Amino acid sequence: MIKYPITFKLNGKQVTVEAPATINLLTLLRDYLNVTSAKFGCEQGNCGACTVILDGEAVNSCLVLALTVNGRAVTTLEGIGTIEKPHPLQAAFTEYYAAQCGFCTPGMIMASKSLLDHNPHPTREEVVDGIVGNICRCTGYNKIIEAVLDASEKLG
């Protein structure tokens, strides 16, 4: 099988990995680089569980062919905060009980981060529009929306 080298910036660090042309960014992250926050949900762009930030914008990593990230920058949940020093969104999700089973949470936070990066003070409606592509089957979304609004205030 033909493999191609891919060099890109992952959470601020340069990485190089070899992969075939058929795999997507989600598989590259999870199976080749052991970066597992992005979740494998539908692989069709419908659920948002695999959302990461590519060159500053939220994307469904399952719809990005791995080879197309060569030379670009990818940020996953691992790159925005730690347990000791969580990102304000991570802190707000904890405080507002915005995660129950947690499966959607990494994608939800990355979609929210992209929203706040582009629009630091969204209205409630704009938050809803920002996370419309991320499905959560537990929370009913209200706590997630409250958490994002709170984080937007704390981020200033």
Partner 1 sequence: MKNVQFFAPETLDEALQLLNKYAPQIRVLAGGTDLVRDMNLEFNIPDNILWIGKLPLEYIIEDGDIIRVGAATRMQTVGNSPVLKEKARAVAQAAGKLASPPVRSLATLGGNLCTASPAADSGCALLGLDAEVVLTRLGGQRVVPLTQFYLGPNKTVIQPGELMTEICIRPTGSGEGSAYQKIGRRQAMTLAVLNATCRVKLDGLGLVDDVSIAVGAAAPTLLRITAAETMLRGKPLSEAAIIEAGEIASRDINPMDDVHGTVWYRRKVTKILVSRTLREAAGKNGGG
Interacting residues with partner 1 between 94 and 153 (CB under 8 A): 111, 114-115, 129-130, 132-134
Smallest gap, in angstroms, from Cβ of residue 30 to partner 1?
Answer: 13
Using the rule CB under 8 A, give the single segment among 51-59, 81-89, 98-106, 143-151 that binds partner 1: 51-59
Strand order, beta sheet including 4-10: 13-19, 4-10, 73-75, 51-54, 57-60
Size of the site for partner 1 (CB under 8 A): 33
Residue selected from 1, 16, 83, 85 as contacting partner 1 according to rule CB under 8 A: 1
Using the rule CB under 8 A, give the single segment among 9-17, 52-60, 97-105, 140-148 that binds partner 1: 52-60
Structure tokens at 143: 């706590």
Place of tokens 């304000």: 88
Q: DSSP string spanning 57-122?
A: EEEEGGGSBGGGGTTSEEE-GGGT--SSS--HHHHHHHHTT--SS-SSHHHHHHHHHHHHHH-SS-
Which residue, 45 or 94, has its beta carbon nearer to partner 1?
45
Does 62 help bind partner 1 (rule: CB under 8 A)? Answer: yes
User: What CA–CA distance (Å, rounded) separates 59 from 52?
Assistant: 6
Q: Provide the strand spans (E) within the chain.
A: 4-10, 13-19, 51-54, 57-60, 73-75
Smallest gap, in angstroms, from Cβ of residue 109 to partner 1?
Answer: 13
Interacting residues with partner 1 between 6 and 35 (CB under 8 A): 20-22, 24
Which residues are at the interface with partner 1 (CB under 8 A)?
1-2, 4, 20-22, 24, 43-46, 48, 51, 54, 57-60, 62-65, 67-68, 70, 111, 114-115, 129-130, 132-134
